[in-house]
A and B are shown apart, each in its own frame.
Chain A
């Protein structure tokens, strides 16, 4: 039997059921897309944090006791002619963020589980296990410290686009700090002698890590969110984090019979590529600003020298690490040279002078 449903098109609420003024206005029309058409990221991000200079007719309606409004341009030393021009190159919004984070977690867990199932941790070089215990255990605090600093930073930016990249950067750092923590905990299940508290002790007390800790605490100690993202992504990531992750763990692990750790650590490298490109886009926008570029450049340069100088000192202090593995592969001076070249390529992309050596 054929059942025919009669639909009165006059009452249909579907698009196209009727033509009338505005019936085809099916794009958010209150912002200029960066490209020819708005991306999904732009649609769900732009202007959600309002601005009295755009549509916020009544201004901010609650203030801090010192008179600061809910968001203030004065919360960073640098200035922009148009904070709203910034778009994150990674175009992250909630769905892509969860997909990416979840994929990383799934991959990491598979690697760890399969490695453990094959008995790999028992075949790790014993000296290497101690290095993981003491120094990967210490390094996880670098990631966590930067993550907490960025969590603080994501309150302070002047637009939704800026704050959201600080937020996702924070989310990646905290996840990665937890990844390492749980990985070491899982190694401990197979290697009961592994001391899980040793990493923190080294972080707090080992002279090898004290400049690194001072560098991270330098980011935690500032209230300027642009300074925080610069210090994190332009200084500490290449000179401490990549140096350690890529220049040490990922190069030396295989020679110590360890194929698990480099794969776990590689996630941090991939996270950084996204965070870096978001940061470079933001800082280069500020340096190229038609009205404030020169002043911004001077401020960013000062931050670069301050945080970069601290990070470089920390990198040099870490040098003895490269002598610890039984089967040595990477050479510290070569690795540091690569990372300094990396910093130079980043500062060039932003439009800043190189970091002083």
Chain B
């Protein structure tokens, strides 16, 4: 008989259920002073939410430290294994964008836990929210560390070195800001529970933190999977928090109308933002063209449609919540039939000079893969990418201004993604001002959901869209070179652009400010607003017809 150390040292401990019950009993209802309620909501919550994970910080911190040890050990191993010698630069360049965005939504999620902490009665879930808060602090700083690591070890640090400044200036990161701000501004339940936990974390982190790391690994980058799969392992706790809170909200039928509104808004906007960004990076940032691997559309079907829609959203119907099945199908159609991801990637390449990363064009291997996965792709996009390659030499006309037939898109006022599916473009007047939208649901989001009243019910806590939402308006009438300089997207020599439409680092191949001088940025929304009603109608009709790319 063998004797184990455990059998000698074993000691009776507190059962986990008892431990969580005791910890939940730490809270009390203040009687001397009313607890401050800073963050308003139109929801009413009377049912105590439960902590489904039954965890305590005593087990949480050592577990997380162990996860960290694995992450940092793997980063060290990646350097010892000379990972960057074989990494695909096309891939790492896109990380300049992705990692500029993602630490902000992460820390926003930490902050938003404050908004939920005091809303529900009882203290059981507060422990869950505390862990989520610390998790998100982990995610934000671990991602900043990863970005620093790329900056220090990857061949071209330009773009990583200005990362948080770039986040505040770039035409693309504004989309990520819409995502992050939506976690922590406006109605507390809408933002922190429905948008963040119920939709973003329960559905779209799968594409963000699982699909994308898989693609990173295929491109020789095993640092991103190491960090992000560790991040994703925390998400189950957040999904549990979100579902438990949702069940408390569902319990009151008065909340059902708001839930229907918010699930609709959150699902559609998550689709618009996450699919645009992650879809583009996964499909266009890769050099790996194995036809057996899943396309983004296939991944979406697995993670969003089968996993989330069928097993999470649909069951909510039994509680009396109206689920907008058509929206899910519309999102799916946009990805597989309308080329949403391809059109967003086309937009990114059209404005390559405004990026702070290098965006390589596509080659024949890419064409073949896209055609295999998305039949008809070459006919629609092939000429564009061939033009892009042709116009990648310095001295060429920047493709945005070349006579390709491409029409620079309007931007959606709701999710801030360009309105790339032209026949779904729509406009409306809100508070006397004309706005543009990528889809009817985006119009509904702005005009009906983000308002002080919803279907006759006062919603005084709902947020409002604000700020200078359209990047193009900031630089309307500016010379491209001046705009790039103003954004700070110039290399330390003061003239070479951070962005390049290729991956060559030969100085003769690199574009400078002089190469882009003489071209003027125009804000489409200003053009539209300045038109007479008749001309506006014609402009919209023409826009909706779309365009055909001419092969140069």
Contacts and interface: CB of A to CB of B under 8 A. Distances in A.
Interface string A318-356: 000000000000000000000000000000000000000
A170 interface: yes
Contact of A50 (B142, B164, B452): B164
A354 to B, nearest CB: 25
B387 to A, nearest CB: 25
A203 B27 CA distance: 11
Given A48-B104, A69-B466, A152-B114, A177 B141 contact: no
A63 B187 CA distance: 10
Interface string A80-105: 00000000000001110111011001
Given A25-B161, A44-B144, A98-B61, A186 B14 contact: yes
Contacts of B5: none
A203 B133 contact: no
A269 interface: no
B168 A56 contact: yes
B476 to A, nearest CB: 13
Nearest to B106: A48
B378 interface: no
A197 B25 CA distance: 9
Given A13-B92, A58-B474, A203 B28 contact: yes
A182 B19 contact: yes
Interface stretch (A214-222, A242-250, A253-261): A214-222
A321 to B, nearest CB: 20
A152 to B, nearest CB: 5
Nearest to B496: A21
Contacts of B493: 21-22
A43 interface: yes
A144 B124 CA distance: 13
Interface stretch (A109-117, A120-128, A270-278, A287-295): A109-117
Contacts of B444: none
Interface string A45-56: 111111000111
B61 A102 contact: yes
B33 A214 contact: yes
A105 B57 CA distance: 9
B57 A178 contact: yes
Contacts of A221: 30, 32-36
Given A13-B89, A15-B154, A94-B137, A101 B61 contact: yes
Contacts of A63: 185-186, 463-467
A301 B12 CA distance: 50
B222 interface: no
A49 B466 contact: no
B12 A98 contact: no
Interface string B5-24: 00001011110001100110
Nearest to B11: A113
A21 B165 contact: no
B118 interface: yes
Give the interface size bracket for B toward A: 35 or more
Interface in A31-74: 31, 40, 43-50, 54-65, 67, 69-70
Contact of B22 (A17, A43, A62, A181): A181
Given A152-B118, A171-B134, A185-B19, A95 B154 contact: no
Contacts of A65: 40, 186-187, 452, 460-464
A65 B187 CA distance: 8
B155 A116 contact: no
Interface in B178-192: 178, 181-182, 184-187
A194 interface: no
B154 A94 contact: no
Nearest to A60: B467
A297 interface: no
B74 interface: no
A3 interface: no
A21 B84 contact: no
A26 interface: yes
Contacts of A56: 168
A30 B144 CA distance: 14
A97 B134 contact: yes
A101 B66 CA distance: 12
B157 interface: yes
Interface in B129-157: 129-130, 133-134, 137-142, 144-145, 148, 151-157
Contact of A48 (B36, B65, B140, B161): B140
B177 interface: yes
A225 to B, nearest CB: 10
B379 interface: no
Given A25-B157, A174-B57, A182-B58, A70 B168 contact: no
A52 B114 CA distance: 23
B92 to A, nearest CB: 6
B432 interface: no
B88 interface: yes
Contacts of B26: 140-141, 144, 177-178, 181
Contact of B465 (A21, A62, A147): A62
A79 interface: no
A163 B111 contact: yes
Contacts of B505: 18, 20, 23
A155 interface: yes
Given A20-B510, A65-B461, A154-B114, A15 B155 contact: yes
B72 interface: yes
Contacts of B56: 178, 182
Interface-central residue, B142, B185, B463, by most chain A CB under 10 Å? B185
B339 interface: no
Contact of B28 (A20, A67, A204): A204
Contacts of A55: 164-169
Given A30-B165, A58-B474, A98-B68, A200 B58 contact: no
A210 B2 CA distance: 56
Given A95-B68, A181-B22, A13 B154 contact: yes
A305 interface: no
A152 B127 CA distance: 13
Given A57-B468, A177-B26, A105 B111 contact: no
Contacts of B165: 30, 47, 54-55
A175 B61 contact: yes
A95 B146 CA distance: 12
Contact of B163 (A12, A13, A28): A28
Contacts of B184: 70, 155
Contact of A217 (B30, B112, B174): B30
Contacts of B92: 13
B84 A15 contact: yes
B156 to A, nearest CB: 7
Given A21-B507, A23-B156, A59 B182 contact: no
A59 B467 contact: yes
Nearest to A63: B466
A27 interface: yes
A105 B62 contact: yes
Contacts of A44: 140-141, 144-145, 148
Contacts of B32: 213-214, 217-218, 221
A307 to B, nearest CB: 11
A261 to B, nearest CB: 17
A102 B69 CA distance: 12
A41 to B, nearest CB: 9
B38 interface: yes
Contact of B178 (A12, A62, A186): A62
A49 B107 contact: yes
Contacts of B33: 214, 217-218, 220-221
25 contacts: A14-B153, A14-B155, A18-B505, A20-B505, A23-B157, A25-B492, A27-B151, A43-B145, A43-B148, A48-B104, A48-B107, A49-B107, A55-B166, A57-B474, A58-B469, A102-B61, A102-B62, A106-B62, A163-B111, A168-B137, A171-B57, A178-B58, A182-B19, A221-B32, A223-B36
The 6 lowest CB-CB distance pairs between A and B, nearest first, are A55-B168, A221-B33, A155-B114, A22-B158, A22-B491, A59-B467
